[in-house]
Chains A and B, each alone.
Chain A
Amino acid sequence: MAQLKPGDTIPELRVTPDRYLTVRYAGASGDFNPIHIDEEFARQVGLPGRILHGLWSMAQVARAQTDAAGGPEALRRLSVHFRAVGLPEQELTVTGTVAEVTDGIAVVHAVAEQGGTAIIRNAEAEIALD
């Protein structure tokens, strides 16, 4: 099990969604909203182009916690705020810091960024340490 103490940083996760990632994720999740898969539609509604599914980006935050925790079974709770749209073909970075440890539960605060813009902020995870 993970040894985490306040102030520790979790291992940084870097992942680049490829050009057709949103199509693959639409099929996996069942979320076929055209803003994720149709470039023309996305531009018509004022977006810079097709955007990542927010829950795909959240999955990266979850994976960063899983890696820090030593496995997915240690994660008790995870919540995120979506702050900006994510885009395909740009590297996404997840970073996090242990904010507190109480009764064997570490609380990690995390951020997911693309090109210096936080697309997920105020992510909070509770990881069981025992």
Chain B
Amino acid sequence: MIGTLVDEYTFAVEPGKVLELARAIKDPAARYVDAGAAREEGFTGVPAPLTYTVVAGHHRDAAAAVELLGLDIARVVVGEVGWEYERPVVVGDVLHGRRTVVDVKRKAGSRGGGMTFVTLETEFLDAGGDVVVRQREVLIETGRS
């Protein structure tokens, strides 16, 4: 399963979506809504909040991804998430996300119901093909109860 392509998609970093996410996470910083404030802080454009790549949820199908991995969605939880930043994501970027399986581990449970840990990595590339952000997530399928 390691190396399997889970999904890939392309999306533009839009000012309205940046504003919507900044409001949803209750971040009052002016840099996310005001190009002048962003420039004063040295950004080339309005930056997106650090967790902006979550908007990929609009571009992919969580249920289909879990099915592709052979997991039971009713027993899947996200145990860990991590981000690595090469540069700030700014409004106007067009990102291409490519999510692959990088690790699979199985752990025997105490009552025979093993757990499965699937680590996925998404690389978000800009229009020039450079990696901007890497996102890792560990899906945990808990044992049958």
| A residues whose Cβ falls under 8 Å from a Cβ of B | 15, 17, 21, 24-25, 27-31, 33, 45, 54-56, 58-60, 62-63, 66, 71-73, 75-82
Please, how many residues of chain B have a CB less than 8 angstroms from a CB on the other chain? 36
Q: Are A30 and B56 in contact (CB under 8 A)?
A: yes
CA distance A29 to B27 in the complex (A): 15
Tell me how far the C-beta of B47 lies from the nearest C-beta in chain A, rounded to whole angstroms: 6
Which of B74-82, B98-106, B108-116, B120-128 is the interface stretch? B74-82
| B residues whose Cβ falls under 8 Å from a Cβ of A | 17, 20-21, 23-27, 29, 31, 41-43, 47, 49-51, 54-59, 62, 74, 77-85, 88, 136
CA distance A30 to B9 in the complex (A): 14
Determine the chain B residues whose CB is within 8 A of the CB of A73 once the complex forms.
Answer: 41-43, 47, 88
CA distance A33 to B57 in the complex (A): 11
Tell me how far the C-beta of B50 lies from the nearest C-beta in chain A, rounded to whole angstroms: 4
Tell me how far the C-beta of B23 lies from the nearest C-beta in chain A, rounded to whole angstroms: 7
